[in-house]
Structure 1
Amino acid sequence: MYLKVVIFILMGFSASLFGQSKFSVSGYVKDANTGETLTGASVYVKTESNLGASTNTYGFYTLRLAPGDYTIVFAYLGFADQERKISLNKDLSLSVDLSEGVEMSEVVIEAEAADKNVSGTQMGEIILPIEKIQKIPALMGEVDLLKALQLLPGVQSAGEGSSGFYVRGGGPDQNLVLLDEALVYNSGHLFGFFSVFNSDAIKSANLIIGGMPAQYGGRLSSVVDIQMKEGNNKHYQVDGGIGLIASRLTFQGPIVPEKSSFIVSTRRTYALDLAQPAIKRTDFAGTNYYFYDLNAKANYTFSEKDRVFFSTYFGRDVLKFRTPGRDFTFDLPYGNATGTLRWNHLFNNRLFVNTSIIYNDYDFTFKAGIDDFSLKLFSGVRDWNGKVDFDYFPSNNHAIKFGVQTTYHRLTPSIANAQQGDEEFTNNKVSIPAWETGFYFSDDFKVSERIKIQAGLRWSIFTQMGPYAASTGVNYQKGEEVVTYNGLEPRLSWRYAINSSNAIKGGVTVSNQYLHLVSNSSSTLPADVWVPSTERIKPQRGEQYALGYFKNLKKNMFEFSAEIYFRTLRNQLDYGESYVQSPADDLEQQFISGSGRAYGAELLIRKNEGKLTGWIGYTRARTERKFAEINGGAYYPAVYDRTHDVSVVVNYDKGKKWDFSGVFVFGTGRAFTPIESIYVIDQRVVTNYAPRNSSRLPDYHRIDLSANYRPKKEEGKGFYSYWTFSVYNVYNRRNPFFINYEFDTDEKTGVLSASATKVSLFPIIPSVTWNFKWQQKKN
């Protein structure tokens, strides 16, 4: 009933405000070869480019125009522009299929209008099509979407060997990472060495760091919105690759041609599998490690107004370690699972709705044993989510979004079981249920030719439920409300166009985050625990203020941007100075709460056209934390504070068979807390540490190179293959990952001393991958 009332009001509002003086042109933009909808395609009137729109996530667009004759232009990255002449005297449905056109290197790298850098309202937004990501050199031949995003200003790596990342001073838990709307809690394989996103299954990735639109919530720093491919609905197609450590295979095709399609994509590592015959002849027999992914998606188009999608992801890491004599065993399985069911419905040519039911699960289990002692730890998060999102286009000057989202969380921060002989200990911690709901409304509207504003408001509510044993001694029963938090989250972005190639943009974002990731390490290892806001643990709240100057040069061949920002963070969690982990402890008693601040400047210059493309990014930033119990209550550098961060990305298309790419990265060394002095008490070594994060590791830098050899495709053949050669860390820079301290006592003097060793991860690593593609011949 409520939904019908809302729709009726919107239709009435639209009719009364705009009357019948204008008509709508609406439809979908698709890939002519595969039938995939194209997100962010540009649709505009040829003689008046300011009369235009972009397709939404599902490839839908709408334009409102006065009666008359027009030429409508449809454009998208890597595709030939298409023009359609229309005579508009009533509402018109117009869908088009775009064919692949000019070479990738000859077009802009954005999947939107070439002047989006200047004309768009949103600042700090980057849309990267997967074709561009695949050109960036990859570790051990595996294309990594998250590693590519870390080459952009404002986005910093959590460290070599980690897919965790930090955005403008926020922690790794403050990034909203979505895969077909499903939240991904842990985005890394092999303790973060690789991301969980298989590039063959990914359609595009949208990164937002400058100001979060109102439809996104639950995180403070950024959004990484990743869309999976829908599947070729015209022809059957097989893609894959065989590398040194992993292989991947993707199969897609029509279920009902032109109406329904599917895609299934798998990936698995096998480096230690191949070494098993040798390992079995050693004392480490039984030791192994591998990870695997499975992506699947299917869709069905019932009519021009209704379409249903189902997508799923399942990934797992399996680590088994055995020592000589099998005296010590170690097992660590962990992974993610997601499922998304979506229904698109078009009420009319101005009102579009998407309804989603989403499931996601993340868990890890740690098992270890030595002699007659065994230990098992379990932690995880499981969510059920429902959401309804509306896109409403009352005119060309307004793009309205509104909706509601609700999530049922079930968090298990830690369950521990230890056994020594006949004695057994199990903590009594159980899963913590909670509800999180958000309502939002936003409007991206054009005030004048120079001024555009995107204003939104989000209202979030979080309720922790029982059963729960609070640290105050109160026991809450199942279904009983423990505590409720709520807050308004205003969002504002604006653009002032100085002229067609220069603009100033600004933004203000206020966000609440009700879940916390707590770790005593510097990277997002799978053993980190997610905990909800409780009576004792307050929700995180962040505010960001940003201002930027944007300029396009030489007919959009070059783009330049300069942004400054200031952020405040409240209710940040950490462990205290005297923290010693114990499974018997109450988790809430282990944490301390504090605040943070971050500020900086970001520069980006990008070349979009020609055989030589790429970008140079630079960030000058400061990130600090403040806890009453640490460093005397004074601000100190966060572990991921990086004063200088530089990235250079170069792509060169030599033509015919070869293309090359290179990456250079430089960053200020990571902050850490050194040992200041050591002494012995009761034959036990006691360490005294310097102030928190008062020293730094050496600066980080490296160069990566890659080349693709693409033989000319023979006409009439459905099979095609090419080779990728890459070298990671070309000049073999030994970048320290952490400092390892070893203690030694002089036998003659009895003096105790400590020596520090810098531990590095990756030396120079060459790799080669054979990639192949087969597509069913067209009839």
Structure 2
Amino acid sequence: MIRYVLWIFCFIIFIHPKAHSQKHYTISGFVTDAETGESLIGAIITVQEMRNMGTVSNSYGFYSLTLPAGNYQITVQYIGYASHIQQIRLTNSTKANIFLTPKSNALQEVIVTNHRTNENIIIPQMGMQKINTKKTRSIPVLFGEQDIMKTIQLLPGVEATGDGGSQFNVRGGSPGQNLILLDEAPIYNASHLMGFFSVFNSDAIKNVTVYKGNEPAEYGGRLASVVDLQMDDGDNKNFRISGGIGLISSRVTIQGPIVKNKGSFIISARRTYADMFLKLSKDTTLNQSRLYFYDINAKANYAIDDKNHIYLSGYLGRDALGLANIFGINWGNKTITLRWNHLFSDKIFTNTDLIFSNYDYKINLDNGEDNNIISRIQDYNFKQDYQYYISERSTLRFGIQSTYHNIVPGIITSTAQSCMQNLSNKHALESALYFSHKYTFNQNISIEYGIRASVFNLFGPGNFYSYDTNGNITDTICYNSAQIVKSYFNIEPRATLNYIISKSSSMKAAYARNTQNLHLLSNSTSSDPIDLWIPSSNNVKPEISDQVSLGYYHNMQQNQYEFSAEVYYKKLQNQIDYRDGAQLNFNENVESQLLYGKGRAYGLEIFLKKRTGKFNGWISYTLSRSENKFDAINNGRYFPTTQDRTHNINIVGIYNLNKKWTLSATWIYETGNAVTFPSGKYQIDAATMFYYSNRNANRMPAYSRLDLGATWIAKKTNKFQSSWTFSIYNAYGRNNPYIIRFENDKTDPTKTDAVQTTLFKFVPSVSYNFRF
């Protein structure tokens, strides 16, 4: 590794533009919204005199460009904003903050965007999509509740795990292989109400970036994808209130300046009220039951001076589901992120993070005794990131990250018996050092490469077991507190090469290795709040993915249309599956229930998008396979994973009829999940037992759905705006299967009936939205 790092630095020095005799100067600053002061992420800064040269504002709106002395025309572009053009005579280093003005026709812009008319051609990054949540409000969704996770499911290579659910699979990976970050804090369960809503209130989210396994070196810890969500900073010029009232939930957002033009805050809250309808029931059990969720997003920021900016953000969300005093479960997430941005110079930007994340659930069983089951996973995270803008051709990023994991798999208490039973807690420290370099060789070739070195340490105290191939305990070792049980060290190289064929087309190739040391154990296709996370151990090795991909990108009709086609192949090591009849929850020896093998995933993703005009939207198609191989399953042959789907098609259309009305529709088709159906049955003591042969040898029926939506702007002035959103989920009422179970035919026990359960069929909704 030392040899590799030395080679990189020698390479950077060798190609450093300042090795030439011509003098260079730096122009730097922040790109913000002229009306609200909100930082604009991913704004494109280009130089007319230097084709294909430029930079992108970072996660805090900061940019830096180093150019030879001379006269330049700088253009700054951001979707939904008027372009800013500035003439600059560069004779010394200059600070220039850019204020962009929103365009009145912003609603006519496409929803999913890479911000620049041809950024998809120029940047080396591939397998990435950016989503501006403020432009997603027209897409029809279940219950009319805008949900960024549902929009992500409409992208190529991304598939929903179930009807109406917010969980998703990316390029054949499972939901547990997706890293979801909210202001850098990991979210371990991103679902409300068993997955039908996500925990992300779109009113509080500014920017979302999705990486499909080709993420930059500063990200790590998951195999399939990274979803990086950033909360709004708040308006630092004016106080504003907005919100919405729907059929089953309402929300409100308050934001404004702490000190005008220097600091701001935002608070956004949301709650469902299905439980209030239960109270209308005459049934005593129902009217005493609970069924709701709430969440609160809050953020504050303050610019101490031109070089220092601090941010404090947090999230609190909770679900409650209970049947009177008989049964109850509540679960939720808490996060806190403290950030400090500092400019060492006009070329070096640093960000320091202190992060806390907590996910927990509590189950109450009142079967004559007060029994409780509690489980949680807590993270304490420190991150130090640096960005060094060497020149207009060269940008360096490096940093260090360290996370302490405290996993409580289960505490079982009984008040009546005054007893407590604890499953052994797990303690682990996960650290990483990363380095990446983005360099543009000339007008046609650019590269981004890097390396991530990760170390994972599992600590005592507790008893740690070893198992044979049948899951029997072969050895037990007791470790003291802070004593290392097992360590893993992994090197994760990554690189992307971009070759620009012309102004409107390019080819890209990428390789990335990812490792994962926290593993989600779940045998449910929906979001289950009691899913279990376990760390790598003496039995469970880190999951490893090696992905190669190749892509062609082409824009048409002056960049009004964007086309891309990507192929990928992933080789997977140390994949996890379960023994037949595995008991995963509240099991001290849960690792005895696991099987280990390898996998592969490969596919083709096609994306066609119309960016502008009264009608816009996109079409995505994915052709893919996802397979695993375990010695103890299907005689050691490859078999489809649960998330394997051959075909997936998404069509999104948005039509701006006039200034008052916007119409939208989405159509989805996908091959059914791979499942295991019984291949026979037999009788034991008059009870029917089903016989299962090969794992995942069958398929659920194909899934398809049409959703329709309309937004009517009832009133719009400078001080007040109100609108109504109407939608129909599953407009043609298709009976999409959620579960298929098998039972004896009531008239002929020798025959078997397949009984299908459908969740949603023709669901209309309406919501009222306001802002002042």
TM class, shorter-length: over 0.9
CA distance in 2 between partners of 1:50 and 1:584 (Å): 57
Task: Give the corresponding residue for 2:26.
Answer: 24
CA distance in 1 between partners of 2:521 and 2:55 (Å): 42
Task: Give the corresponding residue for 1:777.
Answer: none
Of residues 516-525 and 195-204 in structure 1, the stretch that sits farther from structure 2 once superposed is: 516-525
Over 3 Å counting, the alpha-carbon distance change for 1:581 and 1:234 in structure 2 is closer
CA distance in 2 between partners of 1:674 and 1:641 (Å): 16
Give 2:756's match in structure 1, choosing from 755, 758, 766.
758
Deviation, structure 1 residue 685: 4.1
- What is the DSSP-based 3-state SS (H/G/I as helix, E as strand, rest coil) of the residue aligned with 1:206? strand
Percent identical among aligned pairs is 41
Q: Superposition pairs for residues 277-356 of structure 1, below 5 Å?
A: 278-279=280-281, 281-322=283-324, 329-356=326-353
CA distance in 2 between partners of 1:191 and 1:300 (Å): 37
Q: Superposition pairs for residues 200-279 of structure 1, below 5 Å?
A: 200-209=203-212, 211-276=214-279, 278-279=280-281
Task: Give the corresponding residue for 1:487.
Answer: 490
Task: Give the corresponding residue for 2:167.
Answer: 164
Give 2:379's match in structure 1, choosing from 370, 377, 383.
383
1:453 and 2:447 aligned: yes
Over 3 Å counting, the alpha-carbon distance change for 1:578 and 1:333 in structure 2 is closer
The answer on whether the counterparts of 1:111 and 1:129 sit within 8 Å (CA) in structure 2 is no
Deviation, structure 1 residue 19: 6.7
Deviation, structure 1 residue 232: 0.3
Over 3 Å counting, the alpha-carbon distance change for 1:585 and 1:348 in structure 2 is closer
- What is the DSSP-based 3-state SS (H/G/I as helix, E as strand, rest coil) of the residue aligned with 2:714? coil
The answer on whether the counterparts of 1:172 and 1:524 sit within 8 Å (CA) in structure 2 is no
1:670 and 2:711 aligned: no
1:87 and 2:89 aligned: yes
1:709 and 2:705 aligned: no
CA distance in 2 between partners of 1:465 and 1:375 (Å): 30
Q: Superposition pairs for residues 465-476 of structure 1, below 5 Å?
A: 465-471=459-465, 472-476=475-479
1:616 and 2:612 aligned: no
CA distance in 1 between partners of 2:95 and 2:588 (Å): 63
Give 1:104's match in structure 2, choosing from 100, 103, 106.
106
Give 1:364's match in structure 2, choosing from 361, 365, 368.
361
The answer on whether the counterparts of 1:244 and 1:271 sit within 8 Å (CA) in structure 2 is no
The gaps in structure 1 that reach 5 residues or longer are 1-5, 775-779
Corresponding letter in the other structure for 2:726: F
The answer on whether the counterparts of 1:122 and 1:210 sit within 8 Å (CA) in structure 2 is no
For residues 715-749 of structure 1, the C-alpha deviation after alignment (integer angstroms, 9 at most, x for no partner) is xx512211111111101111001112334787xx9
Deviation, structure 1 residue 677: 2.1
Give 2:660's match in structure 1, choosing from 657, 660, 665.
657
Q: Superposition pairs for residues 595-614 of structure 1, below 5 Å?
A: 595-614=598-617
CA distance in 1 between partners of 2:213 and 2:412 (Å): 41
Give 1:54's match in structure 2, choosing from 53, 56, 74.
56
- What is the DSSP-based 3-state SS (H/G/I as helix, E as strand, rest coil) of the residue aligned with 2:601? strand
Deviation, structure 1 residue 20: 6.8
- What is the DSSP-based 3-state SS (H/G/I as helix, E as strand, rest coil) of the residue aligned with 1:655? coil
Instruction: Using structure 1 for the length normalisation, give the TM-score.
Output: 0.93
Give 1:397's match in structure 2, choosing from 368, 393, 396.
393
- What is the DSSP-based 3-state SS (H/G/I as helix, E as strand, rest coil) of the residue aligned with 1:687? strand
Count of equivalent residues: 752
The answer on whether the counterparts of 1:678 and 1:752 sit within 8 Å (CA) in structure 2 is no
Give 1:187's match in structure 2, choosing from 185, 190, 205.
190
Corresponding letter in the other structure for 2:124: T
Q: Report the aligned-residue RMSD.
A: 2.1
Deviation, structure 1 residue 87: 1.9
- What is the DSSP-based 3-state SS (H/G/I as helix, E as strand, rest coil) of the residue aligned with 1:470? strand
The answer on whether the counterparts of 2:532 and 2:585 sit within 8 Å (CA) in structure 1 is no
CA distance in 1 between partners of 2:160 and 2:433 (Å): 32
1:643 and 2:640 aligned: no
Deviation, structure 1 residue 592: 1.3
The answer on whether the counterparts of 1:355 and 1:389 sit within 8 Å (CA) in structure 2 is yes
Q: Superposition pairs for residues 579-594 of structure 1, below 5 Å?
A: 579-580=582-583, 583-594=586-597
Task: Give the corresponding residue for 2:134.
Answer: 131
1:773 and 2:767 aligned: no
Corresponding letter in the other structure for 1:358: I
Corresponding letter in the other structure for 1:464: L
Deviation, structure 1 residue 62: 0.9
Deviation, structure 1 residue 44: 1.7
Corresponding letter in the other structure for 1:334: W
Over 3 Å counting, the alpha-carbon distance change for 1:583 and 1:83 in structure 2 is closer
CA distance in 1 between partners of 2:209 and 2:584 (Å): 38
Of residues 234-243 and 62-71 in structure 1, the stretch that sits farther from structure 2 once superposed is: 62-71
The answer on whether the counterparts of 2:715 and 2:723 sit within 8 Å (CA) in structure 1 is no
The answer on whether the counterparts of 2:253 and 2:268 sit within 8 Å (CA) in structure 1 is yes
The answer on whether the counterparts of 1:260 and 1:298 sit within 8 Å (CA) in structure 2 is yes
Task: Give the corresponding residue for 1:75.
Answer: 77
CA distance in 1 between partners of 2:399 and 2:285 (Å): 59
- What is the DSSP-based 3-state SS (H/G/I as helix, E as strand, rest coil) of the residue aligned with 2:203? helix
CA distance in 2 between partners of 1:381 and 1:623 (Å): 29
Deviation, structure 1 residue 42: 1.3
Instruction: Using structure 2 for the length normalisation, give the TM-score.
Output: 0.94
Deviation, structure 1 residue 417: 4.6
Deviation, structure 1 residue 283: 4.1
Task: Give the corresponding residue for 1:410.
Answer: 406
Corresponding letter in the other structure for 2:733: N
CA distance in 2 between partners of 1:19 and 1:147 (Å): 53
Corresponding letter in the other structure for 2:365: A
1:431 and 2:425 aligned: yes
- What is the DSSP-based 3-state SS (H/G/I as helix, E as strand, rest coil) of the residue aligned with 1:474? strand
The gaps in structure 2 that reach 5 residues or longer are 1-5, 466-474
CA distance in 1 between partners of 2:100 and 2:429 (Å): 43
The answer on whether the counterparts of 2:584 and 2:590 sit within 8 Å (CA) in structure 1 is no
CA distance in 2 between partners of 1:752 and 1:574 (Å): 33
The answer on whether the counterparts of 1:210 and 1:546 sit within 8 Å (CA) in structure 2 is no
Task: Give the corresponding residue for 2:735.
Answer: 734
Over 3 Å counting, the alpha-carbon distance change for 1:754 and 1:113 in structure 2 is same
Over 3 Å counting, the alpha-carbon distance change for 1:713 and 1:161 in structure 2 is closer
CA distance in 1 between partners of 2:276 and 2:21 (Å): 68
For residues 340-359 of structure 1, the C-alpha deviation after alignment (integer angstroms, 9 at most, x for no partner) is 00000011111000000000
Give 2:544's match in structure 1, choosing from 541, 544, 551.
541
Deviation, structure 1 residue 310: 0.3
The answer on whether the counterparts of 1:305 and 1:345 sit within 8 Å (CA) in structure 2 is yes
For residues 228-251 of structure 1, the C-alpha deviation after alignment (integer angstroms, 9 at most, x for no partner) is 000100000001000000000000
The answer on whether the counterparts of 1:519 and 1:574 sit within 8 Å (CA) in structure 2 is no
Over 3 Å counting, the alpha-carbon distance change for 1:500 and 1:572 in structure 2 is same
Of residues 505-514 and 155-164 in structure 1, the stretch that sits farther from structure 2 once superposed is: 155-164
For residues 554-608 of structure 1, the C-alpha deviation after alignment (integer angstroms, 9 at most, x for no partner) is 1111111111111111111121024245745511111111211111111111111
Task: Give the corresponding residue for 2:722.
Answer: 721
Give 2:436's match in structure 1, choosing from 438, 442, 461.
442
Over 3 Å counting, the alpha-carbon distance change for 1:59 and 1:611 in structure 2 is same
CA distance in 2 between partners of 1:106 and 1:194 (Å): 27
Deviation, structure 1 residue 374: 6.1
Deviation, structure 1 residue 131: 2.2
- What is the DSSP-based 3-state SS (H/G/I as helix, E as strand, rest coil) of the residue aligned with 2:304? strand
Corresponding letter in the other structure for 1:670: N
